[in-house]
Structure 1
Amino acid sequence: MKQIFIAVFLVIYSINLYAQTLFTYKGEKVDKEEFLRAFYKNNTGDKSEQAMREYLNLFIAFKLKVKAAKDMRLDTLAGQKNDVQNFRAQLEEEYTNDEKMIRSLSREAFERSQKDIRLSHIFIPFDKNATRRATSYTNGVFSDTAAAFAVAQQAYTALNNKENFTAVAMKYSQDPSVETNKGDIGYITVFTLPYALENIAYNLNTGDYAPPYKSNLGYHIIMKTGERPAFGRMSAAQILLAYATQPTAAEKAAQSRLADSLYSIIIKGGDFEALARQYSGERNAAATGGLMPDFGVGRYEPVFENAVFSLQKDGDVTKPFETPFGIHIVKRIKHQPVATDTLQINTLFKDQVLQDSREKMAREQFAKEVLNKTGYKKIFQNDEELWNATDSFLNNNRIIPLKGINEKTVLFSIGADQVTMSDWTAYVQETRRTTILPYNEMMKQFVALRANSYYRRNLEKYDSRFRDQVAEFSDGNLLFEVMERKVWNKAGEDKTTLKKYYDEHTSKYMWGESAGVIFFTVADKTTAEEIRKDIQPYIKKWKGLSESTSGKIIADSARFDIAQIPGINTSIQPGKLTEMVTDSSDGSVNFVYIINTYKGPDQKSFEEARGLVMNDYQAVLEEKWLTELKKKYPVKVNEKVFKSLVQ
């Protein structure tokens, strides 16, 4: 109950200190923006002046009750503090990692996934393992980045001089595939390329090329040659008649003839899967019948993708076509269009972002933001002296004061915290038990760790959304506590007053058309259906069902108004069962067995009406308390501001 109650009131609460005041109470101010946000969260239909006025009264009541709770110092209770601290700790994770950046990158990935772009590529490597193409360059690679950069600049200059990209690629590119594709690498989509190259590609206009980009392998020049709506993903099966390492013309011709024969069999109704098992040279073809892992744009060579993606419907088969690997015959199993629903962004892309190089970028970006927000300041500037002192500590297990540095020397500050030499050496000693890094790398990690710790402890200062959510939870928790003390417990504990209230209002508590029933709750639909086939044995022993079935079947007997009975149908007669009603949250099934019916009206006894009486009496207590609060905390509404909201 507590969680539900708090949730209801959290959605009517938010804070904005920089707006027109809508109402005041006992020195407190509430601005119009705070009220409007709460109103629109809770009211998606009626926006009339009457609806706003009614909601304003509810909002004022909420504020006064929380004010009363704080004046009673309920916020100092240990339970209240623990609840808020636990909530804060759970919420910290959302605000102290790169979640914001991950969401941004997921949205970016979604937007890029909506189109495929065609690229041409020139690659000038400086890593000896990056290419195997034989050229006039020594061993086909450059031994230093300067030489590679010089050639990349030559290629870029040639493009700037309006030379054809294909000709420049053939002359300068060391990509092994350039001999066959002439620099055209075909269509790509999001996650096809390393993120840095993807960024370049997706920010080019068609026909434009980018300056040389340096990766850890070499220099890249990318040109965008076209774009199209995203193709999506393909499920397919193939028969691959693979070539030998250096096939002869005769061997190729033999594979081509075999491919033509297999294709002829297939189009006449032959079993593609059986042929793939027998003839395909692809790994695992015998086990899979040629079925390939699902793939999207940019996964295979353009000639392969062009052939497969041109298939118009599921079940279509390509004519035999050649790639450097052999001759292929591919059957389209199923085409999966790209998702266009923005509500699926996190579901579709968050995991991919986290597994991609962009996740590292997100972490690094967040770390920079934390350092900037917390005001990191390096105070001790002499790194060489610091590293010497650190060595001295590790050798002697204590800090031996050196020139300009001792255990109390402040190395840097993070916000109001000052981090000293003794803090640093403690970190070094602990860290070196599991890993050994250069001191400068360890210091980067140490600074980031201290900054993140300070940021967590002071999140309210740095993030208004976090501050507001914690405040909202705290006030909701206080509201529950004060309502228990002032209203709910009083009504529940005072049976004499409840009975008196019932006696004074008996006419409110009448039975209308009603029924005496046995109410069944069954764990699953199958069990419920079995019970309903022969209900009488269960009727006779309904009191012990929960224990005898380990809670799988629960039954209770009571009288209900007809409107309260689930699954009601037109025939309400003794011995009848109502329709089954499934609870979507857990799959359990409810239905009712009718014992007898009553036309009404009949007087409800106090025990029969007790729940309703308690609710009504709680409302009386709450109204009385609220009247007292309005006297204690006089409310003044700025009608001019309120009218502006309505307008």
Structure 2
Amino acid sequence: MKIKYLCLLTLGIATACSPASKVIPADSGQEYQYLMTIGNEDIPAEEFLHVLSKSRDFDDESQKLSNEEFEENLSLFINYKLKVKEAEALGMHKSEEFRREFETFKEDLKKPYLLESSLREGEVRKAYNRLQEVVNASHILLRFPSNASKEDSIAVYNMAKKLQKKIQDGEDINQLALEYSQDPSAVKNKGDLGYFTALQMVYPFEDAVYELKPGEVSNPVLTQFGYHIIKLKDRKPNPGQVKVSHILVRTDPADPISEDHAKRKITDIYTELQKEESSWKEVCQNFSEDQGTKQSGGELPWFGVGSFIPEFENMAFSLEEPGEISAPIKTPYGYHIIRLEASKPLGSFDELEESLKAKILRDSRSDLIKEQVMAMQKSKYDFRENLSVSNKVKDIFDNYLPGDLEAIKNEISHQQLLDSTLFSTQNGKKSVADFIQFIKADEVVVKPKAKQFFKPWYHKFEEVSLNEAEEADLMKNNESFQLLVKEYRDGILLFNLMNEKVWQKALNDTSGQKTYFQDHQEQYQWEKRVGALVIKVNQKNYKDSLYAFLKEKPYSGDLKKKLEERFLKQEPLAFTMEQGTFELENHPVLSKVDLGKELQDLDVNKSLYFVALGNTIPSGPKKFSETRGKVIQDYQESLEDDLIKTLKEHYIIQINQDEKNRIANIVVKN
């Protein structure tokens, strides 16, 4: 992905998108002024102002440009537009590679501007606000019979209303749940769900609970499981998350003796933990029966309210200080002793935003958002459906299997419906032929069932068509989006041109590199150099022994290795070293040495250095192999200069001085 280059390539001036930038749409009816014309293309003055405004607020006098900076930016802008113009002239914008890359970028660029994004942001905010509290509720679930008729559904609803009335009249919801609820867990918990928070229940259930006050009973709430009657018992601030360790002694419900044995064992373990010399980890490893955690001291991951069974969770959240150990508690798994390791409050919105978005994408509210988006799009983009045609097409589809698309098409053609309009938006009409081609293209994920072939494909066709209408509306009427899309489009073209004409050419043209090196030999010269070992002393107590060692060993290529063997194996941080051939003037330590002394100590920036010197090498030309990287870089710059020169000769550039002065009055310091 070439996104990392766009910050540099999109004009080479600034980066972030400025919401304050303005460009006048071509069809707005306003007079559209141009800053310049390159070849046959007019470049709007507002496009240049948009670029300049990215990293500066020109309402602030201190952020305005000098005349020199303005002219430099204008020159860069001209060069940029010349390169984009040349890329288009070479047909780079028509290539399949460009189309794919640009469409990928555009999909990402438009997301913040879409109706769906604003709705999803609202759901994320709502979920985070709900996370501030935990709620305690009980419920009764009434399921629908299999293959339920409309009458069956009404009967279930009426029963739910009767139970609601009983609870409101004072009957105990938990006793009623034991008698009536069809939630399998009601046999054990009597419908008591304990404490939970947002994103832990199905969305309609959560929505209903958070609308209740403690003591209130809901109307029947419809979910995919059936009708629920919910009573809210309590709501309180979310305590955040805890990290605990535990020791488990299991029980076997089928063996009465195991209960008594487990109770005695957990009591003995708890007594052992009270001893001052006891080790939690050792006791856990020796006695815990949770095979998945005992070797790590019983440690469990961080968790919040609603993540564990209530008995365990309630005790975990009752512990206050890290290291505090609970008394033994009973759960369906057996007996536990819990130790608090750490606790932390609920994270900030910024910390939780991405995880909330991911959860909502997997949640049923994601489908709800899509339904709301489609309803808003249909209203905003003047969606009109031709029901008589769509019903006829549906009837034809329902007589065939999904694989019989050609037969379906032939039947539709026979009934002269291919060119008929299914629906229209302000973006245009969609015909039956368009719909069939959409299915044949198979570019979207649709999983139709036999005898339900038409409905899912038609719904997806509507969805894609409405999204196209929304994108077309953005491109026509949203100035910020127009500028951003153009910026990325031109940035990709610029990258492709530079990559072909400059960067890769310079990298691959070995002959050109050598010719450039030979023609510019004076640029590639060594200053006076010296072979040296430079030692920075980190621990001063090694100073004397280090100096004594160096005094007996003249400079050689293996001197560094000898020092490592002698000193650093025992004390690796005593000193650091660099050895090689260095230019004297460019080295912070060697620039200060006395070349007449083979061994010397220096104080540089309050640090002690020992320097062992070898042979001095006079200044002279570099070999190509010694400076190839710099040659390639310079060669690239030369190719770019040549490219700009050629483009300026090829394309006529005309500057509108009035518009240039107008922009200068906005961005240049007085």
TM-score range, shorter chain: 0.5 to 0.7
Aligned residue pairs total 573
Instruction: Tell me, yes or no, if structure 1 residue 191 matches structure 2 residue 199.
Output: yes
Check whether the contact 1:572–1:594 (CA below 8 A) recurs between aligned residues: no
Match of 1:550 in 2: none
Q: Among 116, 137, 140, which residue is 1:123 paired with?
A: 140
| 1:195–1:426 distance in 2 versus 1, CA, 3 Å | closer
Instruction: Tell me, yes or no, if structure 1 residue 313 matches structure 2 residue 321.
Output: yes
Partner amino acid, structure 1, of 2:328: P
Instruction: Tell me, yes or no, if structure 1 residue 265 matches structure 2 residue 265.
Output: no
Instruction: Tell me, yes or no, if structure 1 residue 469 matches structure 2 residue 484.
Output: yes
Q: Among 595, 618, 633, which residue is 2:655 paired with?
A: 633
| 1:317–1:612 distance in 2 versus 1, CA, 3 Å | same
Match of 1:215 in 2: 223
Measured in 1, the distance between the counterparts of 2:333 and 2:497 equals 76
Higher deviation after alignment, 369-378 or 322-331: 369-378
Partner amino acid, structure 2, of 1:90: T
Higher deviation after alignment, 362-371 or 213-222: 362-371
Structure 1 SS opposite 2:200: coil
| 1:535–1:618 distance in 2 versus 1, CA, 3 Å | farther
Match of 1:153 in 2: 161
Match of 2:240 in 1: 231
Q: State the Cα distance separating 1:472 from its structure 2 match.
A: 0.7
Partner amino acid, structure 1, of 2:308: Y
Partner amino acid, structure 2, of 1:472: E
Match of 2:307 in 1: 299
Higher deviation after alignment, 306-315 or 269-278: 269-278
- The correspondence of residues 78-227 of structure 1 with structure 2, limited to 5 A, is 78-82=91-95, 84-94=98-108, 100=117, 104=121, 107-108=124-125, 111-112=128-129, 115-127=132-144, 144-154=152-162, 156=164, 167-168=172-173, 170-171=175-176, 174=181, 185-202=193-210, 210-217=218-225, 218-223=227-232, 225-227=234-236
Measured in 2, the distance between the counterparts of 1:559 and 1:626 equals 43
Check whether the contact 1:240–1:280 (CA below 8 A) recurs between aligned residues: yes
Q: Among 430, 441, 448, which residue is 1:418 paired with?
A: 430
| 1:188–1:43 distance in 2 versus 1, CA, 3 Å | same
Partner amino acid, structure 2, of 1:411: L
Match of 1:242 in 2: 251
Instruction: Tell me, yes or no, if structure 1 residue 35 matches structure 2 residue 49.
Output: yes
Q: State the Cα distance separating 1:632 from its structure 2 match.
A: 2.1
Partner amino acid, structure 2, of 1:397: A
> What do residues 528-570 of structure 1 show as CA deviations (whole Å, max 9, x unaligned)?
xxxxxx992699xxxxxxxxxxxxxxx9x9986855x6x8787
Match of 1:442 in 2: 454
Measured in 2, the distance between the counterparts of 1:221 and 1:337 equals 28
Measured in 1, the distance between the counterparts of 2:614 and 2:213 equals 76
Match of 2:464 in 1: 452
Q: State the Cα distance separating 1:429 from its structure 2 match.
A: 12
Measured in 1, the distance between the counterparts of 2:384 and 2:323 equals 65
- The correspondence of residues 239-638 of structure 1 with structure 2, limited to 5 A, is 239-242=248-251, 244=253, 255-268=262-275, 269-270=277-278, 272=280, 290-292=298-300, 294-323=302-331, 326-335=334-343, 337-340=345-348, 342=350, 345-346=353-354, 348-361=355-368, 376-381=383-388, 385-390=392-397, 397=407, 399-400=410-411, 405-413=416-424, 415-420=427-432, 423-424=435-436, 427=439, 437=449, 442-449=454-461, 451-452=463-464, 455=467, 459=471, 461-462=473-474, 464=478, 467-476=482-491, 515=529, 536=557, 562=585, 632-637=654-659
Check whether the contact 1:314–1:333 (CA below 8 A) recurs between aligned residues: yes
Measured in 1, the distance between the counterparts of 2:217 and 2:334 equals 33
Match of 1:6 in 2: 9
Q: State the Cα distance separating 1:427 from its structure 2 match.
A: 3.7
Check whether the contact 2:530–2:582 (CA below 8 A) recurs between aligned residues: yes
Give the alignment's Cα RMSD to 1 decimal: 6.2
Match of 1:551 in 2: none
Check whether the contact 1:92–1:456 (CA below 8 A) recurs between aligned residues: no
Measured in 2, the distance between the counterparts of 1:383 and 1:470 equals 36
| 1:421–1:155 distance in 2 versus 1, CA, 3 Å | same
Measured in 1, the distance between the counterparts of 2:441 and 2:640 equals 62
Check whether the contact 1:515–1:597 (CA below 8 A) recurs between aligned residues: yes
Q: State the Cα distance separating 1:259 from its structure 2 match.
A: 3.1
Which residues of structure 1 form unaligned runs of 5+?
130-142, 520-533, 540-554, 577-592
> What do residues 586-641 of structure 1 show as CA deviations (whole Å, max 9, x unaligned)?
xxxxxxx9987799xx9999999988899699889979999999972233258788
| 1:74–1:123 distance in 2 versus 1, CA, 3 Å | same
Structure 2 SS opposite 1:41: coil
Structure 2 SS opposite 1:221: strand
Partner amino acid, structure 2, of 1:267: Q
Higher deviation after alignment, 315-324 or 50-59: 50-59
Partner amino acid, structure 2, of 1:219: H
Q: Given the two structures, how large is their TM-score scaled by the length of structure 2?
A: 0.63
> What do residues 391-428 of structure 1 show as CA deviations (whole Å, max 9, x unaligned)?
66778936246996444444344643533258539948
| 1:259–1:484 distance in 2 versus 1, CA, 3 Å | closer
Partner amino acid, structure 2, of 1:317: I
Higher deviation after alignment, 415-424 or 255-264: 415-424
Check whether the contact 2:128–2:349 (CA below 8 A) recurs between aligned residues: no
Structure 2 SS opposite 1:35: helix
Measured in 1, the distance between the counterparts of 2:441 and 2:83 equals 49
Partner amino acid, structure 1, of 2:393: L
Structure 2 SS opposite 1:632: strand
Structure 2 SS opposite 1:48: helix
Measured in 1, the distance between the counterparts of 2:331 and 2:391 equals 59
Percent identical among aligned pairs is 16
| 1:402–1:54 distance in 2 versus 1, CA, 3 Å | closer
